[in-house]
Structure 1
Amino acid sequence: MNLFQPFLQTHHDPFLKKKICVVTGTRAEYGLLSNLMSLLRNSPDFTLQLIVTGTHLSQKHGMTVNEIVADGYKIDEQVFLPFSGDTPLNTALMAAQALDGIAHAYSRLAPDLVILLGDRYEIASAAFAALYLQIPIAHIHGGERSEGVIDEAIRHSITKTANLHFTATELYRNRVLQLGEDPKRVFNVGALAATSIQNTAFLSRHELETMLGIEMQAPLFAITYHPISLSYEDTKQEITALCEALKQFPQATFVITGTNADTGASVVREILEEFVQSIPRKQIVMCENLGHKNYLSLVSHADVVIGNSSSGIIEAPILKIPSINIGDRQRGRMRTPSILDCSGDITEILAAIQLALNHQFRQSIKNTPSPYGNGNTAQKIINILQQTDWSSNSLKKTFFDITSVT
């Protein structure tokens, strides 16, 4: 039976609903998945199952599971991870615990398909658990590159476990094909971030100020910096240089978001906290978790997004906001002219900020098209899933050599 043979005409029978399990481990990932989850929850064809793990369940990282509950989602399983440190060994042990916990969750839930997004270690564990339990996997955001972090290897590993692929651009689709995946199972649907932006009612500037408890004096800098998991020294050098560069803008408002739980996160958190304490004024705030709507609202009002988060590569350009990308963490991802790359050198960071604030530069990026789709990504995924039959044959994979790919 072909993977994309449509369901029988009786597939609207509620007893034949396909159980689709979404696994989420971070606030950013959930923000991207939420619109797709909403469509799955309301579909006559599917039953949504939800496994929550990772930093969602960590007090240190803001207990973002509360946001999921507030959005009205039923959480079927919670897999707790012990965030006792951020060394490579800690990460490996948490990945092992995630594999154990998620495998048991799958065993209880018996999903027909698992949906995974991205490239984090707990998502890799979720992928391998599904592989061992012979559950088909749909992977979102494969084929991308981020050569400064271990996510690069994790992402491609997940691709090889997956049976269905939803990429954000045609270039990324071609990379998945290079990994030997069946062209009939690889779809360029655009980025879920485009759907999220299209469907989010942003807070006004005044509402955002009230929520943050600050007066957002121009220029407004939205700052998100994550560790470079392959280099502790580069992480420390870059975040230090960034803080020194920011001190050269005494009139600016700084809104800093919390770092993730990757290897080296503690040094980022420590240096940022020292930076905030060193600037005794009202135009600076550090938030562990803004929530997806609040974060997108912040980016929409920002004069510039600064750091090394993927939001500076995808969301900021969609919103026509200049972004400054520091170092190699996002090296390899597609660029638009609104993204200013620089090293972790204070001089280069300062020059990039000055250019981002330049009126002529800002005007020049207003009509730059985004390569990440027109905002209907979630619905495209649903449409494809509705045409998919998950039989035992869907687990059988043939490696397609690049010469045979059409």
Structure 2
Amino acid sequence: MNKRKICVVTGTRSEYGLLYWLMKEIHSDAELELQLVVTGMHLSPEFGLTYKQIEEDGFKIDKKVEILLSSDTSVGVVKSIGIATIGFADVLDQLKPDLIVILGDRFEMLAVSQAALIIGIPIAHLHGGELTFGAFDDSIRHSITKLATWHFTSTEEHKQRVIQLGESPDRVWNVGALGIENILKVPLLSKDELYNQLSLDKKKSLLLITYHPETHGDRDGIHPLLRALSEYSNVNLLFTKANADNGGRYINEEIEKYTKQNETAFLFDSLGQLRYLSAVKHADSVIGNSSSGLIEVPYLQTPTVNCGNRQVGRQRPSSVFDVELDEKSIKNGIEQALQYAGPYEQIFGDGNASRKIVEILKEIPSYLIQKEFYDL
């Protein structure tokens, strides 16, 4: 029996963390063959060459697609999309997968989707139907929905939104959020183990910070955030780098300056999933504007301070405190989070998304069907 070839594409550390268990399920299924393509930030020394972690986890990388330019501008991102489209045209022609799996809303995935559509490879899109008004990711996500054939959403509300975009209900499944599986399946580090690995001060508590640019152009929100955090000089301030959106390099430079001037502040290119989730578990709060603060963090019973507009529109539980990008608002949000004692709502599924997706991937047609617009 010929195995069905499922090509998974990943471009960032956070995205890989979400895809990990799905990739394991595909690889171990007797009816499927995993093809893995790595691109974007994974191949950049600036972001920690995280493709090496993928290999250390036991995955074989079939192709690498270099796309990042040494640029921090919107023009640079657009050029990266062009380079990515060309690169993926060659790779998909060589690998000839039956289906391609992509997650979310990154600009790299827009390039993949364009190439796959024209070449005639059906796309299974994960985490469609979500809203993030504060980033152009929102428009990219909905664009990928229209380029894709099969859809796997994280909530029922997101499923209905994909249908509202004209996708037939018989091609949309609510399977829950992929990231929940890491929380349920990965044995996390103890506090002592985490602090030892990261050289943190064991006498101090921990705040975990990830701040990305608001991709509609605002990168200066990092300044009031850093000023607000300066009030917490007796706390370990653990930063992870911003992503490769325009403005990301500037934010990372500002954080690096800050950590050099503050002995209790630490910046890491990438913590990896184990250390990141362990840090979430042991932190007093997660601060910034990453989607993980809204989706995965509540499952570890840690409050989130969500800064600015990047995640506006996304569903969130009551343990998320939304604040404006000014120093006073951020400080108030942190104080609220530090006093929060629950509840921690779990609105993104039961942690079995990967198995559900794999069973469906084995049954759906592996050719590009003629889509019709589904009217409500």
Superposition TM-score, scaled by structure 2 size = 0.98
Aligned with residue 350 of structure 2, among 365, 368, 374: 374
Deviations 1:299-338 (A, max 9, x none): 0111100000011111111111100000000000001110
The equivalent of 1:329 in structure 2 is 310
Instruction: Provide the C-alpha distance between the structure 2 equivalents of 1:354 and 1:78, rounded to a whole number of angstroms.
Output: 44
Question: Is 2:372 the counterpart of 1:398?
Answer: yes
The equivalent of 1:389 in structure 2 is 365
| C-alpha deviation, 1:201, in angstroms | 1.1
Aligned with residue 245 of structure 2, among 255, 259, 262: 262
Instruction: Provide the C-alpha distance between the structure 2 equivalents of 1:82 and 1:141, rounded to a whole number of angstroms.
Output: 24
Aligned with residue 67 of structure 1, among 46, 53, 62: 53
Deviations 1:325-384 (A, max 9, x none): 0000000000111000000011111111111111xx22x32xx33110011111111121
Q: Which moved more, 1:261-270 or 1:36-45?
A: 261-270
Instruction: Provide the C-alpha distance between the structure 2 equivalents of 1:196 and 1:139, rounded to a whole number of angstroms.
Output: 20
- Opposite residue 242 of structure 2, the aligned amino acid is T
The secondary structure found in structure 1 opposite 2:252 is: helix
The secondary structure found in structure 2 opposite 1:324 is: strand
Deviations 1:226-275 (A, max 9, x none): 0111123xx21x21001111111121111100110001112211211121
Q: Which moved more, 1:168-177 or 1:195-204?
A: 195-204
Do the aligned partners of 1:223 and 1:305 also contact (CA within 8 Å) in 2? yes
Do the aligned partners of 2:38 and 2:63 also contact (CA within 8 Å) in 1? yes
The equivalent of 1:19 in structure 2 is 5
Aligned with residue 143 of structure 2, among 157, 175, 179: 157
The secondary structure found in structure 2 opposite 1:192 is: coil
Q: What is the 5 A alignment of 1:352-363?
A: 352-358=333-339, 361-362=340-341
Do the aligned partners of 1:134 and 1:395 also contact (CA within 8 Å) in 2? no
Say which one has the larger Rg. 1
Do the aligned partners of 2:102 and 2:124 also contact (CA within 8 Å) in 1? yes
Question: Per the alignment, do residues 217 and 223 of structure 1 end up closer, same or farther by CA in structure 2, a change over 3 Å counting?
Answer: farther
The secondary structure found in structure 1 opposite 2:100 is: strand
| C-alpha deviation, 1:82, in angstroms | 3.3
Q: What is the 5 A alignment of 1:5-404?
A: 13=1, 16-232=2-218, 235-236=219-220, 238-279=221-262, 281=263, 283-358=264-339, 361-362=340-341, 364-365=342-343, 368-391=344-367, 394-402=368-376
Give the root-mean-square deviation of aligned CA atoms: 1.0
Instruction: Provide the C-alpha distance between the structure 2 equivalents of 1:357 and 1:19, rounded to a whole number of angstroms.
Output: 47
Instruction: Provide the C-alpha distance between the structure 2 equivalents of 1:349 and 1:315, rounded to a whole number of angstroms.
Output: 21
Instruction: Provide the C-alpha distance between the structure 1 equivalents of 2:117 and 2:182, rounded to a whole number of angstroms.
Output: 29
| C-alpha deviation, 1:285, in angstroms | 1.1
Do the aligned partners of 1:217 and 1:253 also contact (CA within 8 Å) in 2? no
Residue segments in structure 1 that go unaligned for 5+ positions in a row: 1-12
The equivalent of 1:5 in structure 2 is none
Instruction: Provide the C-alpha distance between the structure 2 equivalents of 1:328 and 1:231, rounded to a whole number of angstroms.
Output: 11
Deviations 1:62-100 (A, max 9, x none): 000000000111111100123311111100000000011
| C-alpha deviation, 1:219, in angstroms | 3.0
Residue segments in structure 2 that go unaligned for 5+ positions in a row: none
Instruction: Provide the C-alpha distance between the structure 2 equivalents of 1:373 and 1:216, rounded to a whole number of angstroms.
Output: 34
